[in-house]
Structure 1
Amino acid sequence: MSDAILCRFEAARSIVRDAADLAMSMRPPSGGPTAKLKSAQDWLTEADGAVEALISARIDTLFPEDGFQGEEEGRTRTGRLRWVVDPIDGTSNYARGRNRWCVSLGLLDGDQPVAGIIQAPALGETYTAVRGHGAFLNGRPIRASAVTDTRSAMVEMGWSSRVPDGVFAEKAATILRLGAMPRSSGSGALALADVACGRLDGYLEIVINLWDVAAALVLLEEAGARVSPFLRDGGLEGGITLLAAAPGIAADLAVALEVPLD
């Protein structure tokens, strides 16, 4: 990996740390959601905009030639190297004062993920990865689960109002028929990070966007997980399906759920 990428990664670690501190300082108290409702279960807090603005401004100062894309403002700058941020992934949790949310920042070189940082400050966890340099949780190397039987697997499935109820129910039923234990915890980025470190054996989201996965894609690759071809199949342009899984059950999940693998 080039010195330019490694330099950006080190700078991004500091930027994400400051962004996470800002998000913590703005976190609503526990209770009913303190946020605006964009659509069913799709929340927007004041922190979403503030955190994205902080990251965008810092990157623009340090690397003005780089592209930038955020969940809230869209693609505001173009460049071969493109930063993609989800300022608060798991906003439904964040808006209620819960702990399972994160700041997610990924770096793409063209259409290839090359670095990613996912920081969950309320959990005290930071995931990091640079292509070719391994994947880490709080500085310790991580690997995907060694599970080989879906009957002993734990699989999470993300929910979206953009998915018809019947489709969601069908996929959930398929996971249950495989004997896997289902989960749903409200943060796509952290679910993917859990697959990378073996806390989950699989994660399916029928419609998910680039900002949700940009940081996690390199983390998953470096941790040895298998992932559906999200970027190749249209993830750069809009929301599509993503499956990430431990290598020992990835093929079984992909066939049952009718999702192609890499």
Structure 2
Amino acid sequence: MTVNDTALAARFALAKMLAAEAGAMALDYFNRRDTLVIETKRDLQDVVSIADRNVETFLKGRVAEIYANDGFLGEEFGHDEGSSGFTWVVDPIDGTAPFVNGMPTWCVSVAIVREGEPVVGVIHVPCSDELYASALGFGSTLNDQPLRLDPARNLQNAMTGIGCNNYVTPQRVGAIIAGLMDRGGNFIRNGSGALMLAYVAAGRLVGYYEPHMRAWDCMAGFCLVREAGGKTLHFPGRGAEFLNGHPVLAANPSCYDELLDLHLRNL
């Protein structure tokens, strides 16, 4: 193993451990969610709780203890640059709306980016006790079982995840869904883009598309999908653009081009 491989493997092991610990912490909040104070951010659908903030604080603190020179980007508290070449990209609770409404479709997402590309992706789903884990060259697993996409799955015989938010007009979302159904596909939205990307890696969905996502929502999922044999749309991994929202597409190679065409037709 080279020095870089060793550094990556060590961080991968830590990411898995921290995602599991953060998931346990978040699950404890979920089980007593009626006691949480819920706030809104951009609109009444964009919610946040003390659980999100405390889980992110925990993750950031643990990373800083072990890798003080690593960068860190979190949904709640922003970006610290770092100097090691590794940046942790974290969504403490992706799917806060399902979380606060008592639904199980939320997760903890932990990614590590190096040279602009996600090299570690771990997603923990506490309500179903699932740990999706991947790293560059290590493959993808679900609860330690290898994941590999099935080329027989396509838009017509499987489900596609579609995401939306108020950065995108309802008319555009409607056109995307209509375009997918015109191609013989069907869609699902569960309130967590990160989780639906994990489902793509696991073969539960054949693809996932959302016109506007942030790095903390998709970096872990991108690593998972790529290491399972899937394809992803480019997401800027450096500079100011890394902190902005961009279209996200990840899919089985069997239908990637069809979904890319759907994206290009609805810009």
Q: Same fold (TM over 0.5)?
A: yes
Q: CA deviation at 1:166?
A: 1.1
Q: CA deviation at 1:240?
A: 0.8
Q: 2:70 aligns with which of 44, 66, 71?
A: 66
Partner of 2:143: 138
- Give the stretch that moved more between structures: 136-145 or 203-212: 136-145
Cα distance in 2, alignment partners of residues 46 and 83 from structure 1: 21
Cα distance in 2, alignment partners of residues 145 and 158 from structure 1: 23
Partner of 2:56: 52
Q: Does 1:174 align with 2:161?
A: no
Partner of 1:14: 17
Summarize the Cα distance change of 1:30–1:78 in structure 2 as closer, same or farther, 3 Å threshold. Answer: closer
Q: Does 1:2 align with 2:10?
A: no
Q: Does 1:191 align with 2:196?
A: yes
Cα distance in 1, alignment partners of residues 236 and 68 from structure 2: 25
Q: Which runs of 5+ in 1 are unaligned?
A: none
The alignment's TM-score, normalised by the length of structure 2, stands at 0.91
Q: Which runs of 5+ in 2 are unaligned?
A: none
Percent identity between the two aligned chains: 32
Partner of 1:86: 91
Residues 12-44 of structure 1, C-alpha deviation per residue, up to 9 Å, x if partnerless?
A: 22222111111111115588x962121241110
Letter in 1 for 2:175: E
Cα distance in 2, alignment partners of residues 189 and 12 from structure 1: 16
Cα distance in 2, alignment partners of residues 195 and 18 from structure 1: 24
Q: 2:26 aligns with which of 20, 23, 27?
A: 23
- Give the stretch that moved more between structures: 146-155 or 19-28: 146-155
Partner of 1:255: 261
Q: CA deviation at 1:254?
A: 1.4
Cα distance in 2, alignment partners of residues 102 and 60 from structure 1: 22
Cα distance in 2, alignment partners of residues 153 and 193 from structure 1: 15
Classify the secondary structure of the residue corresponding to 2:156. Answer: helix
Q: Does 1:119 align with 2:112?
A: no
Classify the secondary structure of the residue corresponding to 1:97. Answer: coil
Conserved 8 A contact 1:28-1:96: no
Cα distance in 1, alignment partners of residues 33 and 52 from structure 2: 18
Q: CA deviation at 1:77?
A: 4.0
Conserved 8 A contact 2:37-2:50: no
Residues 205-227 of structure 1, C-alpha deviation per residue, up to 9 Å, x if partnerless?
A: 01000000111111111101111
Classify the secondary structure of the residue corresponding to 1:88. Answer: strand
Partner of 2:46: 42
Cα distance in 2, alignment partners of residues 149 and 51 from structure 1: 37
The alignment's TM-score, normalised by the length of structure 1, stands at 0.93
Conserved 8 A contact 2:209-2:259: no
Conserved 8 A contact 1:193-1:220: yes
Cα distance in 1, alignment partners of residues 202 and 154 from structure 2: 18
Question: Superposition RMSD on alpha carbons, in Å?
Answer: 2.1
Summarize the Cα distance change of 1:145–1:160 in structure 2 as closer, same or farther, 3 Å threshold. Answer: farther
Conserved 8 A contact 2:117-2:237: no
Summarize the Cα distance change of 1:256–1:13 in structure 2 as closer, same or farther, 3 Å threshold. Answer: closer
Q: CA deviation at 1:237?
A: 3.1
Q: 1:104 aligns with which of 98, 101, 109?
A: 109
- Post-superposition, which runs of at least 4 consecutive aligned residues in structure 1 deviate over 4 A? 28-31, 232-235
Conserved 8 A contact 1:145-1:201: no
Q: Paired residues, what number?
A: 259
Summarize the Cα distance change of 1:179–1:30 in structure 2 as closer, same or farther, 3 Å threshold. Answer: farther
Letter in 1 for 2:39: K
Letter in 1 for 2:26: A
Cα distance in 2, alignment partners of residues 242 and 126 from structure 1: 22
Conserved 8 A contact 2:95-2:193: yes
